[in-house]
Amino acid sequence: MVGHRELYMEDVGGIEILARPSGKRSWPDEVKGRIVAETLVPGMTVNEVAKRHAMKPNHLSAWRRLAKDGKLVVPDLAGAEFTPIVLVDPAPPRPPIGSIEIASGQVTLRLDGATDARRVAEIVHALNAVP
């Protein structure tokens, strides 16, 4: 015989969600996003918002991580402060500039201007170590 599961609608902070007798609730993504947006209002804390919605703060923090990772849509909410994201194309690589000339005694080395600074330093260090 299959056990009977009762599901019912529960009003949490003015939002109706599906709840089970065990206490587990099903939060639609739109509701999660709206609750996360509430935490972005200046002066609001995760603890305050979680308490208002009868949930644990760590549960709400997990939703905030989902939103931060782009896995949960957060709607505009009056008073919420969002940090704008600006996507730009990476700067094109700079063409090599001139050349580098290192003279030590009777030896002169000419390097491409794009030679890594660490490599140039290694060469200079090696030349200074030669008696």
Can you give the residue range of the structural domain that contains 119?
A: 99-129
Amino acid 131: pLDDT: 66
Question: Residue 2 corresponds to which amino acid?
Answer: V
**Given 68, 88, 115, which residue is the final one in a domain?**
68
Looking at the domain assignment, is residue 25 inside a domain? Answer: yes
Looking at the domain assignment, is residue 106 inside a domain? Answer: yes
pTM for this one? 0.50
User: What φ, ψ does residue 30 adopt, rounded to 5°?
Assistant: -60, -40
Rounded CA gap, 63 and 78, in Å? 20
Structural domains counted in the chain: 2
Highest-pLDDT range among 11-25, 53-67, 92-106, 114-128: 53-67
Q: Residues 103, 61: one domain?
A: no
**Given 46, 68, 90, which residue is the final one in a domain?**
68
Rounded CA gap, 107 and 111, in Å? 13
Residue 127: pLDDT band with limits 50, 70, 90: confident
DSSP letter at 41 equals S
Largest Cα–Cα separation, the chain: 96
Asked whether the beta carbons of 107 and 127 are under 8 A apart, the reply is: yes
Cα radius of gyration (the chain): 30
DSSP letter at 36 equals H
